Amino acid sequence: MDKIEEVLITLRRLIRATDLHSKQLVKTAGLTAPQLLLMQAIREKGQLTIGALAQEISLSQATVTTILDRLEKRNLVYRERSSKDKRKVHAYLTDKGMEILRDAPTPLQEHFVRQFRDLRDWEQSMIISSLQRVARMMDAEHIDASPVLDVGELDRKDSRQLPPGEEGDM
């Protein structure tokens, strides 16, 4: 096998691993990776505004709002206006949301982050540099992306896993 084939196979494996993990997450927890990360941030950070949550998980406020809308329809989160400042809205997990979060698998990126942090600085820098070069070679360096390992739209949902009546409001 030549080097070009090795690179293409490795890229395909990365894409496929992300896809398989995303599908497994939807199948086992009924959540997408961004939904899971948002719920984890709500649990871990406590009372944050929607804007602060968006910053915490590196997604736009509009995307976070869309994800919260979907989670709220499923009774996994609820939002409340601050009693001190009515301009601020905070998101909270419901009991059902806490239960799903407790049983949810670890997001793929958490596995990656743990192992990446164990690397030496020079190894981390080499990986970053190589991946940035690959992105340039694929004309992808200007594509907007968040640090969430998931495929497709960040606020998509899998209608096969949704309660009746929620299909098609994508």
Taking the C-alpha atoms of residue 64 and residue 34, their distance in angstroms, rounded to an integer, is 9
The pLDDT value given to residue 153:
52
Q: Which comes out higher in pLDDT, residue 163 or 80?
A: 80
Are 9 and 86 contacting, i.e. CB atoms less than 8 angstroms apart? no
Which one is predicted more confidently, 150 or 120?
Answer: 120
- Confidence class for position 157, pLDDT limits 50, 70, 90: very low
One-letter amino acid for residue 37 of the chain: L
Give the pLDDT score at 144: 73
Check pLDDT > 90 for residue 160.
no
Q: How confident is the model at residue 115, as a pLDDT?
A: 94
The amino acid occupying position 80 is E
32 closest CA partner among 108, 102, 88: 108
Question: For the segment 116-146, what is each residue's pLDDT rounded down to a tens digit?
Answer: 999 999 999 999 999 999 999 999 888 877 6
Find the mean pLDDT for residues 66-80. 95
pLDDT tens for each residue of 20-32: 888 888 888 899 8
Domains of the chain (ranges; CATH) run: 3-161 (1.10.10.10)
- DSSP string covering 17-74: HHHHHHHHHHHHHS--HHHHHHHHHHHHH-S-BHHHHHHHTT--HHHHHHHHHHHHHT
More confident call, 58 vs 74: 74
